[in-house]
Structure 1
Amino acid sequence: MARVWWVSHITLTESGGGVKTPGETLRLTCTVTGLSLTSNDVNWIRQAPGKDLEWAGVIWAGGSIYYNTALRGRITITRDTSKSQVFLQLTGLKTEDAAMYYCARETQ
C-alpha cells in the first residue's frame, strides 16, 4: 500500500513492502517530487499497530545518514538523487518490525 503526502506542490510516495516473514528483508522506495534531495532531509519513520511513531533514520541533504540505534546493523538508507528516490532496507525482520513505514521531509 502506498501513501502520498501533499505539501503544496511537494509529494513523497512510498512503494514496496507487503507481507514479509521473520528473517526476510524489507525494501522500500520513497519517490520525491517538487523538491531536491540535495537541499532537503528525508526521514523514515514507522508506526506499529497501537504504538507511537518511531523514528528509523534520516538521510540529510548533504548525504550524512543517521539511524535509530535500536535498528543499527539491520537498517540501511540510501538515495539516488538522479531519480529523486530514497531507499530503506531493513534486514533480518523481526515480528516487532511489523508496522506502517513512512518517508517524511524534515521541514526547516
Structure 2
Amino acid sequence: MTFSTNMSPVALLLLLVVTGSCVKCEQLNQPASATVQPGQRLTISCQVSYDLGYGTHWIRQAAGKGLEWIGYTCRGCTPVYKDSLTNKFSFTLDDSSKTVTLNGQNLQPQDSAVYYCARESQ
C-alpha cells in the first residue's frame, strides 16, 4: 500500500480505520470496572502484549475533568509518580503474565475516576 505525501491527515486516519491495520499494534487489557469503599485499597491490573522493558503509564480521568497522569513504570527502571500521588499509588510488574498493576491505598471519593494504562511510545 502506498500513501501520497499530499494525503490529508483526515484521509489517512479514515484509511487506517477502514483497513483496520497498523504497522505495530499493542494490546492492553484491563477490567471494565472496579469499586472500592473509602479508605480501602484498589488493585487494577493491565495485561499487555509488549515487553515490560517499555514504560507503562497510568492515567485517570474524573467525571467532567481532564486527564491526570499518575505515573509510569517499566522493568529495570525506578517508578516515577506525580508528586501529589506518590503516597497514594504504587506499581507492580509480573513478567510471567505480562501484567502491570496499579495499587492504590487510602482512596477517597475524590479518587473516583476512569483509570487507564497506556504504553510508552518507542
Question: What percentage of aligned pairs have identical amino acids?
Answer: 37
Q: Choose from 60, 67, 87 the match for 2:101.
A: 87
Give 5+ residue unaligned stretches, structure 2: 1-21
In proportion to residue count, which structure has more strand?
1
Q: Which has the larger radius of gyration?
A: 2
Q: Matched residue pairs, number?
A: 101
Report the equivalent of 1:55. 69
Q: Which has the higher helix share?
A: 2
Output the aligned Cα RMSD.
Answer: 1.9
Deviation per residue, 1:51-71 (Å, 9 max, x gap): 000001100343320111111
Large movers: runs of 4+ above 2 Å: 6-9, 60-63
Query: Normalization by structure 1: what TM-score?
Result: 0.84
Q: What is the 5 A alignment of 1:13-92?
A: 13-15=29-31, 17-33=33-49, 35-38=50-53, 40-92=54-106
Partners of 2:97 and 2:23 in 1: how far apart? 20
Given that 2:61 and 2:67 are in contact with CA atoms closer than 8 Å, whether structure 1 keeps it comes out as yes
Tell whether the 8 Å contact from 2:43 to 2:102 is kept in structure 1 after alignment: yes
